[in-house]
Amino acid sequence: MVTKEEYLGIDSSNLVKFQNPGESLEFLAEASSLKALKALIDDASLHGFDLCVASAYRSFDRQFAIVDDKFKGKRAVLDENEQLLDISVLSDEKKVLAILRFSAVPGFSRHHFGTDFDIYAKNCLKDGAKLLLTANEYEKGSYFYEFGLYLEKSLEKFGFSRPFSKRDLFGYEPWHISYEKSAMKVIQSFDINAAIAYLESFDEPWVKYAVEYVKEHKDRIFGEIYGK
């Protein structure tokens, strides 16, 4: 049984630390998911890709800060075409809707589970190029195109899926992979009302719109994305 504190990203004591080879930055992940990831990394290497992790477990507080910073204009917000959006001209409600296309509502992020990873092929980046984590990087002719084809063919073999694989309510994220077996254990324990109640305990002005968004789209969130 996964606890509320675990699926909300409040308690990470059940997770293990890991690093990309040759890097000092530490990540956290659920043990079975990490084992599967390492097998995927080894296979990717055989196919010429240096698969690295850009993001793994993300706490509630970290996700909350990301959304809060975007709402306050401290972080960039992209539109559905991944172009920079000027949110200063939008109402608070529309700001939140724009932010939530590519940033999960705190408490509802799959990155809280420890089963999901944002990945990339380090050796496919040009020297000095910055990783953007945009779908444009996976378009034909771009540097991650071949890597994306590899993922499409290989992820299922190692128990992974790409939960954000459509251009729909949520942004298309070909770099986001999830170890389904472990993720489903978390999802089966997930209580949407408990998650909403916890989020409502915060008084930032955008929270009420985020809660409204979850309530309006909960069937799609838990159907298309969480498989519940």
H, E, C per residue of 2-53: CCHHHHCCCCCCCCEEEECCCCCCEEEECHHHHHHHHHHHHHHHHCCCCEEE
pLDDT of residue 168: 61
* Run of H or E including 178: strand 176-179
Q: Is 108 helix (H, G, I), strand (E, B) or coil?
A: coil
* Sites in the chain below the pLDDT cut of 70: 166-169, 220-228
DSSP designation for 223 = I
pLDDT of residue 226: 62
Task: Tell me which residue has tokens 């063919």.
Answer: 153
Return the half-sphere exposure (C-beta side, CA atoms, 13 A cut-off) of residue 96.
16
pLDDT of residue 217: 85
pLDDT of residue 169: 62
Topology annotation, domain 4-217: Muramoyl-pentapeptide Carboxypeptidase; domain 2 (3.30.1380)
